[in-house]
Amino acid sequence: MHEDHSTPMAVLNIMYDVGAKDEDPKRTGFAHLFEHLMFGGSRNIEDFETPLQMAGGENNAYTSNDVTNYYIQLPAENLETAFWLESDRMLSLAFSEKSLEVQRKVVVEEFKEHYINKPYGDAWFKMREMAYKVHPYRWMTIGKELSHIETAKLQDVKDFFFKHYRPVNAILVVGGHVKAEQVRQLAEKWFGDIPAGEKYVRHIPDEPAQKEARREEVRAKVPLDALYKCWHMDNRLDHGYYVADLITEVLGGGGSSRLYQRLVKEKQLFSHIECYHFGTVDKGLLTIEGKLVKGVKMADAENAINEELEKLKQDGISEKELTKIKNKTEATIAFEDMSVLTRANNLAFYELLGDVSLFNSDRDKYFSVTGEDILNYSRKIFNPNNSNTLCYYSEN
């Protein structure tokens, strides 16, 4: 519950502790397809959207490898409509054959739009399979292949719902122009009588430490060569996560970052380069991705990246760089905090990680990172044996 009376709106956010990592490897993409089906009618409400729009509300949802999140924003006066809609679909879906049939097609089109009909659209399918041999992060949220989505059955949908969409696996956050007591009453009224269900306990194996460098080459009809490299990093709650996050800023955050300045501006080897990670709960991937200037050799481009990493491992970063990335982190958090919706979403995510108070303490963890930490962590992860490299060659 998060009161904020500076807005006339209320937000209701439900995060389910289920993501693509909980899928059967033979039925990937299911968590995301299921998210679509959550809009196909519930036991007592045939149509989710119409009553919400009638109440002046908007909603959306997303699925990641870790979580599935649903959110509604509407005028605070009509908060109860959101409780009604969300609780009924938590009680039970309508499980309509027609909805499954249509949403299978919609998701197939989504797959085509984002991953097939797009240059380099398959790069991350390949990267994930290279970097993860055991952990289910080895497939994308959208699914490993179209056939997994096309063959989904209504029985699969029912099983998934009763396994994962029980109150015991859900976190409800209500925010905005609301009162604590009112929220307590509404929550009890609408969610109180839904059987809690059985806690889903996941048994996901840790990805074993990578022992040797992995490489792959692809040739495709794209205009430019591209290079993708990634290294395994720590999980969301580890100190290393915060260090890795700041390392991506040093290397790829903005026009004064190291990779941009050295490789795009000075050496002109890349026309575009970025450094990021995926913010995953389990051990994630720190990534550098770039498009080569036409005519530049892949080996030269890769060596130049390695040189920058070596420099970081030798000398660490300057005081000025450290201040810069912390100032940037401070500003990013302040701008994020401007939106009630983002705050509600973050509260749910921290609770899912195990402790909602991380919302406040998380930022201190960033500010406590030292230059020494960055030096040591660079040495640890930028080890060639921890690296995965995809050379994506243009056939054009």
Partner 1 sequence: MLNRTIAPPITDPVAFDIHLPACKKYTLSNGIEVFALDMGTEETLMVNWVFYAGNWYETKKAIASATNYLLKNGTSKRSAFEINEHFEYYGAYLNRACYNETSELTLHALNKHINELLPVVAELVQDSVFPQQEIDIYAQNSQQRLKVNLQKSEFVAGRLIDAYLFGENHPYGTYINLEDYAAVQRADVQTFFDKYYRNGRCVIFTAGKLPKDLIESLEKHFGHLPLKGRTAQAETINHPLQPATQKKFEVINDPNGVQSAIRIARPFPNRLHPDFQKVMVLNNVLGGFFGSRLMGNIREDKGYTYGIYSYLMNFTSESGWMISTEAGRDVTAATIKEIYSELQGLRDEEVDEEELMMTRNYMIGSILGDLDGPFQVIGRWKNMILNGVDENYFDRSVHIIKTITARELQELANKYLQPEAFYELVVI
For partner 1, the closer CB: 208 or 255: 255
Tell the smallest beta-carbon distance from residue 169 to partner 1 (Å): 21
H-run or E-run covering 302? helix 298-315
Q: How far is the CB of 142 from partner 1 (least distance, A)?
A: 11
Minimum CB separation of residue 56 from partner 1 in Å reads 2
Indicate the residue type of 48: F
Spatial distance between the Cα atoms of 25 and 16, rounded to a whole number of angstroms: 20
Nearest approach, Cβ of 120 to partner 1 (angstroms)?
8
CA 48 to centroid of chain Cα atoms: 25
Give the nearer residue to partner 1 in terms of CB position, either 193 or 212. 193
At residue 66's C-alpha, the angle toward residues 211 and 110, to 5°, is 105
211/221 with CB nearer partner 1: 221
Looking at the Cβ atoms of 18 and 142, the one nearer to partner 1 is 142
- How far is Cα 186 from Cα 205, in angstroms, rounded to an integer? 39
Nearer to partner 1, 174 or 381 (CB): 174
> How near is the Cβ of 272 to partner 1 at its closest, in Å?
7
Can you give the length of the chain in residues?
Answer: 396
Find the shortest distance in angstroms from Cβ 372 to partner 1: 21
- Specify the amino acid at residue 103: Q
Q: Is 90 exposed, middle or buried (0-12, 13-18, 19+ CB in 10 A)?
A: buried
Residue-by-residue DSSP string for 202-250: --PPPPPPP-S-EEEEEEES-SS-EEEEEEE---TTSHHHHHHHHHHHH
Nearer to partner 1, 64 or 387 (CB): 64
**How do strand 58-63 and strand 68-75 relate by DSSP bridges?**
antiparallel
User: What residue ranges in the chain does DSSP mark as E strands?
Assistant: 2-3, 9-16, 58-63, 68-75, 170-176, 214-220, 226-232, 270-276, 285-292, 387-394
Nearest distance, CB of residue 137 and partner 1, angstroms: 24
What distance lies between CA 249 and its chain's CA centroid?
Answer: 18
Q: Strand order in 9-16's β-sheet?
A: 2-3, 170-176, 9-16, 68-75, 58-63
Report the residue number, 48 or 377, with the smaller CB distance to partner 1. Answer: 48
Q: How far is the CB of 4 from partner 1 (least distance, A)?
A: 8
Judged by beta carbon, residue 114 or residue 202, the one nearer partner 1 is 114
